[in-house]
Amino acid sequence: MSFLLGLTGSIGMGKSTTAQLFVDQGCALWDADAAVHRIYAENGAAVAPLGRIFPQATRTGAVDRAVLKEIIANDPGALKQIEAVVHPLVAEDRNRFRAEARADILVFDIPLLFETGGDAAMDAVACVSVPPETQQARVLARGTMTQAQFEMIRAKQMPDAEKRARADYVIVTDTMEHARQQVRDIVDQIRRQPDHA
């Protein structure tokens, strides 16, 4: 029986990098964002149902994320309609991964794990974290969003302190080596559990 580890953390905390560190330790990874990309891609599972609701959001057999963002910005009810289509398809993708993965530890990289109640399905949760000024510097250094956009996203996410308080493990991603050591320690700890051997 595989151990289910939820991996979460707010924007700019180093979650994707940390997820890869778990893979390096022999864990299997399911990435919620990658699952959304799969179902939005050409001939993806979300293309036809979203196309029926918002025909303008599908182009060349795929979902146009930029158009979806515009729709959400202009129609307060649109997000709920989109989520009603997307969430069950993402859950199917996650369940398929669970059924097919053969690793002893399955890591679920889910940005809104606590916000959506997904932590209830996990054996434990690891939260990645850095101080707020490091978080902000990392996000703005990407050059993909403004300070205002970053603050809006951060405001929608559960505060970092609350995520850390609710998590079983906290991984401080201040340096790569420090993050790698913490991931190793967590994996070792899980693998040493009597019911996991």
Check residue 133 and give its pLDDT. Answer: 93
Check residue 97 and give its pLDDT. Answer: 97
Give the mean pLDDT per block of 10 residues along the chain (197 residues).
95 94 98 96 95 93 92 90 94 95 96 92 97 93 90 88 97 96 98 77
The CA–CA distances, whole Å, from 92 to 32, 55, 85, 163, 183 equal: 11, 24, 12, 26, 28
Query: Which of 25, 24, 22 is closest to 5 using CA atoms?
Result: 22
Instruction: Write the Ramachandran bin of 14: left for phi over 0, alpha for psi from -120 to 50, otherwise beta.
Output: left
Contact predicate 36/29, CB 8 Å = no
Check residue 135 and give its pLDDT. Answer: 94
Contact predicate 135/13, CB 8 Å = yes
Specify the 3-state DSSP secondary structure of 107. strand
Check residue 196 and give its pLDDT. Answer: 61
Query: Which of 148, 125, 140 is closest to 9 using CA atoms?
Result: 125
Contact predicate 47/60, CB 8 Å = no
Q: Which domains, ranges and CATH numbers included, belong to the chain?
A: 1-27+104-197 (3.40.50.300), 33-102 (3.40.50.300)
